[in-house]
Amino acid sequence: MTTASLETPLTKNPAVLKWVEDCSALLKPDHIHWVDGTEAERQNMISTCLKTGELEELNQALLPGCYFHRSAQNDVARTEHLTFICSPTKEDAGPTNNWMAPSEAYAKLKGIFDGAMKGRTLYVIPFIMGPAGSPFSKIGVEITDSLYVVLNMGIMTRMGNVAWKQLGDSPNFTRCLHSKADLNESRRFICHFPQDNTIWSVGSGYGGNALLGKKCLALRIASALGQKEGWLAEHMLILGIENPKGEKRYIAAAFPSACGKTNLAMLVPPAHLVKQGYKVWTLGDDIAWLRVGPDGRLWASNPEAGFFGVVPGTNSRSNPNAVKTIRTNTIYTNVGKMANGDVWWEGHDNLPPEECLDWKGQKWNPDMDTKAAHPNSRFTAPARQCPSIAPNWEDPAGVPLDAILFGGRRAHLTPLITESYNWQHGVFMGATMASETTAAQQGGNVGVVRRDPMAMLPFCGYNMADYFGHWLSMGTKIKNPPKIFLANWFRQGKDGKYLWPGYGDNMRVLLWILDRAQGKGASVESPIGTLPTKDAIDAGGLDLTAPVMEELLSVDRAAWETEIADIDKFFATFGSRLPAALKSERDALAARIKKA
Ligand code: OXD
Ligand code: MN
């Protein structure tokens, strides 16, 4: 029996009561709080955090409802090397995941959880991933000792009584156990048990490690559920494009972390296209759940309710909608903080302040060679505040997709945009995607090219070879599949400068994609896929010369031969589990390159 002072549980669900009782016996908190998700509760929690210093109030005249959080200095990003898929066998986790045997993981983490909440409150957070009432939503219950986690979960999910109501008496919920413990990296583990629908995370308060509804549930656990249940959980934004006739079409796009996904999701079209009457609608910036609809199309919905975005570089040019979204009711983590309670970061619209406190809480000025904001500093903001949020973003059925876009940050090699020949070729494109690493991964070298299939490398909850197989088999179930494309906004010229303006101008590429999805748009065949002709992309109002467009769309045969050799190395890691269809796509590509 627990000795914690007990509040009356907000649910009679026997599976929840038993699980909370068991966890409480292990964690030994002083108090248990059942989260109801009300505004009064949120205000109380904020007051507590202001007293303990977990949050600091920002200037409420400039940033109403906004607060600041400074994390531990060793806890600023996802820790992929400490993240494990604890499936029954190592083969089930596959070569791209860290694996720990479930018995070992449970035993090891039990040792760390034991007594970790002494002197603390245990919060029980019920939450829904997906809109309330949607048959496609999934329910999780997170136990945590972090009020920062509760407040962030309140933004990122549908949290509280609404989730208790939807769960009812069902034992079907993801058991998410989290404790900051002592935030010591040597006792930090993020473990997933897909076979038990369970996540255990200890030793970190960072969003991707601790807001267990996000990467842990909505991607790693959900991808494994999707394999069993016949759907896909993807690291994708969802956006809608409305043409001048008022017709809306939807695209889902997968890019590795910090490749401008949030910017693309909230894109503001260039003046040239606004004048013509085009609009862009945001439906999600990070995660999409994809299902086959009764109409034989692929439908996408965003399971999240908020944005957990990278702050540095957010400004009126890169993302004017994000700038407006994060002016109110936002939690800022690890940015620079000024004496007047305003915030600043590298790439802000305003010039650097003469002085501020940096993300570590040290005095900072622009002459120093350190950064004011951590490169992976974050905002957590409600999606509904985004000026471009689509009126139908919470539609329980989601939206039908015209196209799927994969992309990565490649200084060389991949053209601005390439269309796949068909679903299987598109899956090959996604499976062989690669990108240069960024600051979103702790402990990695920034700027190194790594293969990141479908941008899911750190997020796939099972063997990635089986995941490719699942993608291929989904293709047989979708009567009218979306077309699949590969984008690269980051191609550089010989002088090391970006060739493509990016940001809002990416809309020009999206319009070509939608044209192609409707059987229009000028195109030309290449050995790697179908490319736009050099004047197929509307460059009106852009200062982009014909030779630059040619370079953006060029295919360098020798570079592709090197790429194929690298793909071979990557594919070899999957051994015989790699679907034969991907091997034949590889062979077909090699043959086309050879002939070119
Ligand atoms: C994220 C990430 O936080 O991908 O979205 O790292
Ligand atoms: Mn992400």
What separation in Å is there between the alpha carbon of 491 and the centre of ligand 2? 21
Judge whether 259 counts as a catalytic residue.
yes
Q: Ligand 1: does its nearest atom lie under 6 Å from the Cβ of 585?
A: no
Q: How far apart are CA 192 and CA 83, in angstroms?
A: 8
Q: Ligand 1: does its nearest atom lie under 6 Å from the Cβ of 440?
A: yes
Q: Ligand 1: does its nearest atom lie under 6 Å from the Cβ of 307?
A: no
Helix or strand holding residue 123 (H, E): strand 121-129
Q: Ligand 1: does its nearest atom lie under 6 Å from the Cβ of 308?
A: yes
Residue whose entry in the numeric block shows the structure tokens 């040792």: 111
Pocket test for ligand 1, best of 234, 257, 334, 441 (most atoms within 8 A of CB): 257
pLDDT number for residue 1: 44
Judge whether 531 and 592 are in contact, CB under 8 Å: no
**Series of mean pLDDT values for 10-residue runs along the chain (596 residues):** 70 97 98 97 98 98 98 95 98 98 98 98 98 95 98 98 97 98 97 98 97 98 98 98 98 89 95 96 98 98 97 94 98 98 98 98 98 97 98 97 96 95 98 78 65 96 98 97 97 93 96 97 98 96 95 96 96 98 98 95
* CA-based nearest residue to 396, from 482, 293, 285: 293
Query: At 137, phi and psi to the nearest 5?
Result: -70, 160
Residue by residue, DSSP assigns 62-119 as TSTT-EEE---TT-SSB-GGGEEE--SSHHHH-TTSEE--HHHHHHHHHHHHTTTTTT
| Cβ contacts of 547 within 8 Å, gap of 6 or more | none
Q: Ligand 1: does its nearest atom lie under 6 Å from the Cβ of 261?
A: no
Atom of ligand 1 nearest to the CA of 256: 4
Q: Strand 483-487 vs strand 417-419: parallel, antiparallel, or unpaired?
A: antiparallel
For atom 3 of ligand 1, the residue with the nearest CA is 208
Domains and their CATH numbers in the chain:
14-34+79-229 (3.40.449.10), 234-302+393-595 (3.90.228.20), 306-385 (2.170.8.10)
Q: How far apart are CA 291 and CA 296, in angstroms?
A: 10
Atom of ligand 1 nearest to the CA of 78: 6
From first CA to last CA, the distance across the chain in angstroms is 72
Q: How far apart are CA 284 and CA 218, in angstroms?
A: 13
Q: Which candidate in 23, 216, 259, 386 is catalytic?
A: 259
